[in-house]
Amino acid sequence: MRISKRVRDIPPSGIRKFFDLASRMEDIISLGVGEPDFPTPWHIREAGIYALENGSTTYTSNWGLLELREAISEHLNNLYGLSYDPEREILITTGSSEALDLSIRALIEPGDEVIIHQPSYVSYVPCVLLANGIPKILPTFPEDEFKIDPNRLEKLVTDNTKLLILNYPNNPTGAVLDKETLLQITHIVEKYDLFVISDEIYDRLVYGVEFVSFPSLPNMKERTILINGFSKTYAMTGWRLGYAAGPAEVIEAMMKIHQYTMLCAPSIAQKSALEAFKLEDEVKRMRDSYDQRRRFFYNGLKDIGFDVVEPKGAFYIFPSISGFGLSSEEFAERLLREERVVVIPGSVFGECGEGFIRCTYASSLSDLKEALRRIKRFVASLEKSSTLKK
């Protein structure tokens, strides 16, 4: 066998399977993809066109354009009072995905344990395994609104625990952590000398609650790599642009891997992103629109009878389907085949995601309305067939 065992052992992302199935069908409503339904704001696209016209088609510094690093530094300072040196503490990456991979590879030795709360974004476990680390899963539950229980977290720490990966606002649950829970987590991080990767890619998409950036908490800046990017807030998924901010020593180590594997992030995307931080009105407009759709879809699911925690961030909702007698994969597959609605089975996001489905509500209101109609009909057919069986 030519393929390394490490790679063979990693299952392909369960999300892809549903897109492949859906791509062969017609009249589909997709609540599957994790991306905004807006095109990138015009000013950013225009800057991209201008960069192309101007011939800005070469590599940039390995670190990324200094001007963009300065803009990110200022942005994090304005939002969270964080102060990062743009020359040594910020690295521009090819999507936040690259920042995640680099930070894990730069930090862990083979056999180090990495605590990952679940349900969680699908990349964390594979990235840890590819770096020869050992993922330790911290389940979260709807009774706690999918927030981390600090006591459970502390029980999972061993002498080999090196890292904690945090993702709030969370994909797939839409949960946001409150300050009190975050402070309790900081105590555990300090007590056991852990390091944290905080994936804050949905930081600007919170609804009626405060978002607290993890490194802004007492003593956490020197123990955290903050990961963020342009994909979600600025509807730039296809531009592949993200960044990491943290202690110079770690950022420099990440930079070492980055310079040999990626050279630099796309130059045109970097030029365009210089416009992004000037577009607060656009960010607000998109957030308000997601919020409207969030409320509509949440209420719609409740009306149908779903047991569902109100999501406070990102653009996902994670209703329970455990009452219908199907696994989350069966539920999603049948919903697709019978009613042509794409949702993602919760099991894709970890074992404790079983019994749930993830729906992205970043679709038009009319699609959401139609999706609810179809889901209602599907659920009614399940209920009918289960009463017939009785």
Contacts with ligand PMP by CB under 6 A lie at 34, 95-97, 121, 167, 171, 199, 201, 229, 231, 237, 242
Q: Whose Cβ is closer to ligand PMP: residue 82's or residue 102's?
A: 102
Question: In angstroms, what is the minimal distance from the CB of 105 to ligand PMP?
Answer: 16
Question: In angstroms, what is the minimal distance from the CB of 332 to ligand PMP?
Answer: 18
Task: Decide if 10 contacts 126 (C-beta within 8 A).
Answer: yes
Burial 227-257 (b: 16+ CB within 10 A, else e): bbbbbbbbbbbebbbbbbbbbeebbebbbee
Instruction: Write the DSSP string, 242-254.
Output: EEEE--HHHHHHH
3 state SS of 154? helix
Q: Whose Cβ is closer to ligand PMP: residue 102's or residue 336's?
A: 102
Question: In angstroms, what is the minimal distance from the CB of 279 to ligand PMP?
Answer: 18
Residue 75 has which token pair? 């942005």
Question: In angstroms, what is the minimal distance from the CB of 313 to ligand PMP?
Answer: 11
Task: Decide if 56 contacts 268 (C-beta within 8 A).
Answer: yes
Question: In angstroms, what is the minimal distance from the CB of 221 to ligand PMP?
Answer: 21
Q: Whose Cβ is closer to ligand PMP: residue 287's or residue 369's?
A: 287
Tokens 């990966």, residue located = 165
Backbone angles phi, psi at 90, to 5 degrees: -135, 135
Question: In angstroms, what is the minimal distance from the CB of 176 to ligand PMP?
Answer: 13
Alpha-carbon dihedral 95, 81, 183, 358, rounded to 10 degrees: -30
- Calculate Rg over the CA atoms of the chain: 21
Question: In angstroms, what is the minimal distance from the CB of 2 to ligand PMP?
Answer: 28
266 upstream amide cis, omega within 30 of 0: no
Q: Whose Cβ is closer to ligand PMP: residue 36's or residue 247's?
A: 36
Shortest-Cβ-distance residue relative to ligand PMP: 95
Q: Whose Cβ is closer to ligand PMP: residue 170's or residue 347's?
A: 170
Distance separating alpha carbons of residues 121 and 202, to the nearest angstrom: 12
Task: Decide if 57 contacts 267 (C-beta within 8 A).
Answer: yes
Task: Decide if 234 contacts 41 (C-beta within 8 A).
Answer: yes
Q: Whose Cβ is closer to ligand PMP: residue 194's or residue 344's?
A: 344
- What kind and span of H or E run contains 168? none
Q: Whose Cβ is closer to ligand PMP: residue 104's or residue 157's?
A: 104
